[in-house]
Each structure stands twice: as structure tokens, then as C-alpha cells.
Chains A and B, each alone.
Chain A
Amino acid sequence: MNRTLALTRQRAQSTWRNMLLFLAVLGPGIITAFVDNDAGGITTYSVAAATYGNRILWTVIPMTIALVVCQEMSARMGVITGKGLADLIRENFGARTTAVLMGSLLLANMANTVSEFAGVAAGAEILGIPRWVSVPIGALLVWMLIVRASYRAVEKVFLVLSFFYIAYIISGVMARPDWGVVGRAAITPNFTLSRSYVIMLIGLVGTTIAPWMQFYLQSSVVEKRIRVEEYRYSRLDVIVGCLVTDVVTFFVLATVAATLFTHGVKVETARDAALALAPLAGKYCAVLFAFGLMNASLFAASVLPLTTAYYVCEAVGWEAGVSRKLGEAPVFFGLYTAMIVIGAAVVLIPGAPLIFLMLVSQVINGLLLPFILIFQLALINNRRIMGRYVNSPLQNSVSWATTVIMIAMSVVLVGVSLFPGLGGGG
């Protein structure tokens, strides 16, 4: 009797301890996955669902698997080596490779940051706040967060921001889709052999795994000093992050499919989608959608410059890290500040070619991702670096398959972005 009691208590204690350990390592995976649903992501989802409706829903599950596989590798490398991805690339592939890689990433992320601030402007304008108010305030908030706060504080703010993605789920419920139809569509692969449908698929996958995500996750796992013994919790963090994020993706797709697609409304941007939701699903649904967009954009606008500053500094050998003081890491904070200032300023220029910049960032992202995945696979299978934590044969086959598919898709995506004629009409 007594013994049973003791055992139960022990088990309860260890469950509680596991819970605590999980909460302690929680963060990097969830945050990275959430930033994935940024302005560009929401735009792509809105356009896809408005064009194809529920037919596009089945992509969510394979995308989630691919995302988990790629992110798990980053987290594992961070835990085992204690070094960022840029560090590892520099040490194993030399200065020249690193310089080319960093240069392109800097360029791509600069363009990405611009599109995030464009998202802030769009979301705020739907809520009735003019962009010359929302963008500078947003930029200042984002800047203050990193320069003035510690990693722990930054992470907490990010985790809170993640919570607000629930706006999309609520707006999804408010749009009242037929859940039976939606559920069936989610598990029924649907191929339409039309050129534009294939391109839309590629676009969806392309926004799901971005080069910077691999760097960001690994850096934050390192900064958090997660250890081998805690790794299983960290992996859980990655998986939960990817799952929850794709639940959000799913709801965005379902919302738009149930309303705009059903009524044949075509959209080009996330802003169009939010505005078009109002007469079809109610004003609050549209407001929530816009709020979600602004939240997502602000979130990504702080993470993107942060990750860029991280990996450029890591690679060249400058001090980096949000826990450093300003004077200790001037280039880190300088880069971070410059990206935010430029990103915000470009959006405020009247008639700035925002759609063109989004396109450019997508093209560079697409071009870079294959290289980064190949570098990652080379590093993670190197026993000298990873010891016994190299990929298992199963992990390797899944990740190589993902990489090959991503490469194929990226190549097509880049081709289509450069030569829009390939895509045919709508």
C-alpha cells in the first residue's frame, strides 16, 4: 500500500519534472515555426485558398513533415555542437563559401524584412491605423525589444506573440466552414495537372521552409544552452511548434476557402483577403484576420533582422548575441538596427515597389535553400562533428527526399518568378 503510494508520488514527481524541463527548453522551435507564418506566408496561403479552395488543404500534412525534418536537424546540430550553423559552415567550408552565403542571406532577408513591414502597414491600415504611425512605432518596438532586453525577456515576448496567432483560428471558426468537407480535403491528396496549380503548390512549400529559419533555430538553441540530455524536450519543442504553426496555416486556408473561394473572390494580397472577409464572414472575422497579419508581421520583423545579424556576425567573427551589451557587439546591433530602419523606411516611401521586393526575396530564398540544406546534411552526417548523433538511415532518407523535393520546387519556383510566362494564366 505504502509502496504503491510512494511509486505514484514518484511518477507524479517525474511527470512534473519532465513538464518543467520541457517548459525550460520550450521556445526556439515554437518561435521559429511561428515566424514562418509571416506576411509572405499569410499572403501565399490567402491567394492559394482563394484560388483553389479546399483542394489545397491536403498539402498541410506533407509540409509539416518536411518542416519538422529540417528544423529537427538544426536543433540537433545546435545542441550537439554548441555552435551556430554559420559557425559550422565557416569552420568546415571556409571563408569564401561563407562570404557568398552570408551575402545572399543578407540580401534576401533585407527584402524579407521590407515585406514584413509592408505586412505591418497592411494589417494596421485595415484596423484603421495609418502606416506612417504603425510602421515607425512597430520598428521602434522591435528595435527596443532586442537592444534593451535579455534573451529570456525576448523569448517571453515572442512566446506571447505566438499566442496571438489564435486570432486566425478564431476567425477560421467564425467563417463557419463545413468541417466535414474540410477534414476530408485535408487527407485527400488532390493533383490538378494545371501549370498554375503546380506553381501554387511550390509557392506554398517555398514559404514553409526558408533558409533563415535553419540559422535562427540553431542559434537560439545555442543561445539557450540546451544540452544533450534535454534534447528530447527540445525536439518536442520543434515538433509542437511545427504542428501548431501548421494548424494556423490550416485555419487560414480553411477560412479563405470557405468564404472568398466559395464566393469567387480573387485576391492578390493578404490585405485583399482580410478586406474581402468582412462582408462574407462578418466584420470581426476580418478584424481578427488583420490583427493576425499585423502580429505575424511584427513578430517576423523582429526575428528576421535578428537572425541576419546573428549569422553574419557568427560567420565573419564579430561578437553576436542579444545577451551581449551594446558596446560589446557593435556590428551585431548595427546590422540589426540598419535592417529595421531600412525595412521600415522603404515601406514609407510612396510608391515603393513592395511586390517586386517580395518577389526578389522569394527568389533568393529559393535559390539559397538547396545549398543550405545540402550543407546541413553534410554537417549532420559528419561523425567528427556530430559523434553518434549523426542522422539515422531513416532520418537521412526522409531528409534527403525532402531536400530533393525542395530543390526541385525551388528551382521551378525561381524559374517561374524570373519568367512569369512559364506559369501561364491564373
Chain B
Amino acid sequence: MPDTAHASEFMGRRVLDSEGRTIGRLVDLVIGCGPSPCVSRLRVRTPKGLHHIHWDHVKASDPLTIDPERLVPVAGGPELRPDELLLSGDILDKQIVDTQGFKVRRVNDVRLEKAGKRMVVVAVDIGLKGFARRVGGLGLLRLIDLIRGRPWVDTEIPWTFVQPLGGSESSLRLTRPWPELAKLHPADLADIVDDLDRHEQMALFRHLDNDQAAETLTNVEDGEVQEKILDDLGPERASDIMEEMPPDDAADLLGDLPKYKADKILGGMEKDEAAEVKELLGYPEETAGGLMTTEYIALPSRLTCGETIELLRQQSPGAELIYYLYVVDGDESLLGVLTLRDLIVSPPETVISAVMKSPAISVNVADHQSEVVEVMAKYDFLAVPVVKDDGTLVGVVTADDIMDVALEAPRPLRRWRR
């Protein structure tokens, strides 16, 4: 057997006994998915049906010679173990997740390498060359090589970065390795989610905890895809996930849903969180109110810097941004703003109203998002407070919420593509 080989070279090969008589044809390779996935058994179709034979009973690989006594019929015997894969049935021609490039790819071929006595799966081929090898079009590719003056290289993904998704037939067996995907960053997961089909998306979300699911869902770019996933997850799970989201993201998502669905999800959420989201839903999407989050830190002006630091430490607030602390009076009117820096460098006994910047620059809830962008760009703010007409602080718009608006602004045509 050569040191390196492609799956395409094996499938359909004749299987012989020691006397050189044809016993059947090789239809698949069983891969044990250990740390080094190697060929554990061969699947051979003989006139008597499908059989397995252990790799140890393969006497030679070219021509493929086995000991026919060792063939085990597939029907009746144990099928595949949960950690086993069929190279052709589960991998070849199927879609996999490239966990390094965060993309869903279709497998054109699989490369195996000899390691000691075993054949180990090293990489999947997703390129045109693999496809050409499969369909017998390598000659054509060589012709193109001649014209181009350089050879066409293999496009491979190392097996370590491959997450099989499994076709419909093997999805049950393959749900096991999915938690591997859950280790990826939610932003990268979101890229993958877009490429998965509906069933795969649901399988993935089943393996994510609510927090991961919330972050992943927020990062999915296509609003329609977001809605559909939320819908598929069912109102109960959707409520749980929504509770983990910053209220502004939750409001953005719910705002796009039909009202009866949004109400159902809101109904399943904890009262406080639901109330915040509902309040945000009341503002038009393209205004400061529609962009803002209600999670911010507001402090009464009589606190000292020391007390404030102690308070922050005790309560460890869940606000997105704790760099800016807003100072309010009894009516929640915005008096001034205090940075974390001001707080730390001031003597502990100083009253915060003495160190805060006042009046604080703010925007009105009804201001258009472009004005918010302008204010933030002008003053280099990471966040800007949002007030009502009477001066009450109702929320903050953070830089990450405004980023998409800022990026889109100069190219109106981009709006077509979300």
C-alpha cells in the first residue's frame, strides 16, 4: 500500500482471496473516530450481501486481498459503534464544518496516510482537484495545469478541524461529537449557522447553553435567519435565550417577529427583563431609543468615590459597559457622567458629584441614529446616554450598537443586503 492514498482510489475496488478469486467489492471504509482516526474495518459487498472485515484481516492492499473466513455479515451483527464513521456514507460527498475556517464545506475526497500498520485519515479534500479525482476528470485538470503553467494544488482541511454533520441517515449517530462545535466563539459559530440547513441549525442550538445560544443568535447577520431560528426553537427556549441577551438585542430580534409570536416569547420571560424589552420595543428602530440598551449604571450624586467602587464590587452589575457611570438625581434626571478612570484616581472620600463631568452630553430618545453616530464620533465616546425630553436617563447607546449603522451609512445600496 502506498504511504498516502485517497478514498476515491479505494471505493468500488475488487476484493480478492489469497488465491486471487474475486469475493466482492469494497463499498466503504469504517473509521474509528479515536484521537487518530484510522480505518478499522472494511465494508465489502459480496453476492451474499454486505459484510465487514477487520483491518487486521486484510492481507494485502494492492490488489486488495483478505481472508474470506473473517467476513462478518453486516445484517444481524453489530452495526457501527457510536464513535465510528463510514467514510463514504458519512463523509464523502457530504457537508462538514471546517472549524478553523468557520465554514460549511462539501467533501470531495479524503486523504489517508499509512502510519505503522494502520491507515489514518489525515485530511478532507474540498477542492476542485478532489472533485476531478472523483469524477475521473484529472486529465482535464492536467490540461488546465499545462495552460496555467503551474499545477493545481489540493485544497485540504486537516482532519483535526473537521466536524462531520452527517447526512439524514447518520444524524442520530453523529449528534455526539457536536459539543465540539459549542467550544467555538459565538461570532464564529454564527458564520457557520448561516450555512447549515434547518435541521442542523436546530441540532447545534440544542447543544449550546442559553448564554452561548443568545450570543450566537445575536451574531447571525441575516435577520430572516435569526427570526426563523428563534421560531424553530419554540417559545419556551426562545424566552430562555432572550433573557440572556442584552435587552436591546432582544428588542431588535423581537421587533422583527409577528406581534403574537413576540408576545408569546415575552410572556415566557422574567417580568423585569420582559418589561425592559417591551419598553425598548416602543421606540422606532432607527432612533436612539431603538438602538439603546437599558442596562447601564446610574448612581445617586451623594455617593463618594469609595462607596461607589464598593457598590460596583458588591453588585457586579451586568451592564455591557461599565466604563461610564451616570450620575442621576432623585427623579432619574441625568446630572453628569463619571468615567471609571475618574473614579479610581480620585480620593475615596470625594463625593462623585465633585468629579463628574456636568452637564453630560446626551442624545434624545427620538434622535435619528445618524445624529447618534455624529455625537459619538465627535466626542470619541464609547457610549452616549439617552434621555427623554424632561431629561430623565432612559438608556445608553454603546459603540458596538452603532458600529453597523456607522459602517452602512456611506453606501446606501448596502441596505439591500442587510
Contact = CB atoms under 8 A, between A and B. Distances in A.
Interface of A: 17, 20, 81-83, 90-91, 94-96, 98-99, 148-150, 152-153, 222, 225, 227, 316-317, 319, 323, 325, 384-385
A233 to B, nearest CB: 14
A95 B134 contact: yes
Nearest to B229: A225
Given A81-B168, A227-B232, A316-B106, A96 B135 contact: yes
A96 B134 contact: yes
B45 to A, nearest CB: 15
Given A83-B197, A148-B413, A317 B131 contact: yes
A148 B108 CA distance: 31
A154 to B, nearest CB: 9
B224 A82 contact: no
B106 A317 contact: yes
B131 A227 contact: no
Given A99-B134, A316-B106, A319-B103, 6 more contacts: A90-B106, A95-B92, A148-B416, A149-B416, A317-B95, A317-B106
Report, nearest first, the 5 A-B pairs whose CB atoms are least far apart: A317-B106, A82-B197, A95-B134, A99-B135, A82-B198
Given A82-B198, A225-B224, A317-B108, A91 B93 contact: yes
Interface string B11-49: 000000000000000000000000000000000000000
B51 interface: no
Contacts of B106: 90, 316-317
Given A225-B228, A317-B106, A385-B168, A82 B131 contact: no
Interface residues of B, number: 36
A81 B197 CA distance: 8
Given A96-B134, A316-B131, A91 B94 contact: yes
B168 A316 contact: no
A82 B199 contact: yes
A134 B134 CA distance: 43
B287 to A, nearest CB: 23
B138 interface: no
Contacts of A225: 198, 224-225, 228
11 contacts: A20-B258, A82-B198, A82-B199, A95-B108, A96-B135, A99-B131, A148-B416, A225-B224, A225-B228, A316-B106, A319-B195
Interface of B: 92-95, 103, 105-108, 126, 128, 131, 134-137, 167-169, 195, 197-200, 222, 224-225, 228, 231-232, 258, 260, 413, 416-418
A96 B11 CA distance: 13
Nearest to A84: B197
Contacts of B258: 20
Contact of A227 (B128, B198, B417): B198
Contacts of B198: 82, 225, 227
Contacts of B108: 95, 316-317
Nearest to B109: A95
Contacts of B167: 91
B126 A317 contact: yes
Contacts of A82: 197-200
A181 to B, nearest CB: 49
Nearest to A24: B258
The residue in B134, B135, B167, B200 that gathers the most chain A C-beta atoms within 10 A of its C-beta is B135
Nearest to A228: B198
A245 B98 CA distance: 43
Given A95-B135, A227-B232, A384-B169, A317 B225 contact: no
A317 B95 CA distance: 8
Contacts of A98: 135
Given A82-B199, A316-B128, A323 B168 contact: no
Contacts of A150: 416-418
A375 to B, nearest CB: 14
A323 B136 contact: no
Contacts of B260: 17
B204 to A, nearest CB: 13
A317 B105 contact: yes
Contacts of B418: 150
Contacts of A222: 197
Contact of B137 (A99, A227, A317, A323): A99
A220 to B, nearest CB: 14
B93 A153 contact: no
Contacts of A153: 416
A323 B222 contact: yes
A385 B417 CA distance: 32
A354 B103 CA distance: 42
A94 B134 CA distance: 9
Contacts of A148: 413, 416-417
Given A20-B258, A81-B168, A96-B136, A323 B93 contact: no
Contacts of A317: 95, 105-108, 126, 131
Nearest to A318: B106
A323 B221 CA distance: 11
Tell which of A83, A222, A227, A325 has the most Cβ of chain B within 10 Å. A83
Contacts of B131: 95, 99, 316-317
A325 B197 contact: no
Nearest to B415: A150
Given A95-B93, A149-B416, A323-B417, A227 B228 contact: yes
A82 B203 CA distance: 14
B168 A94 contact: no
Nearest to A222: B197
Given A81-B168, A82-B198, A149-B416, A94 B228 contact: no
Contacts of B103: 319
A227 to B, nearest CB: 7
Contacts of A81: 168, 197
Which of A91, A225, A323 has the largest count of B CB atoms less than 10 A from its CB?
A: A225
A325 B417 CA distance: 8
B347 to A, nearest CB: 53
B288 to A, nearest CB: 26
Nearest to B197: A82
Contacts of A319: 103, 195
B93 A94 contact: yes
Nearest to A94: B93
Contacts of A90: 93, 106
A98 B417 CA distance: 31
B138 to A, nearest CB: 12
Contacts of A20: 258
A94 B106 CA distance: 12
B79 to A, nearest CB: 14
Contacts of B224: 152, 225
Nearest to B171: A384
A135 B413 CA distance: 25
A247 B80 CA distance: 54
Contacts of A316: 106, 108, 128, 131
A68 B105 CA distance: 33
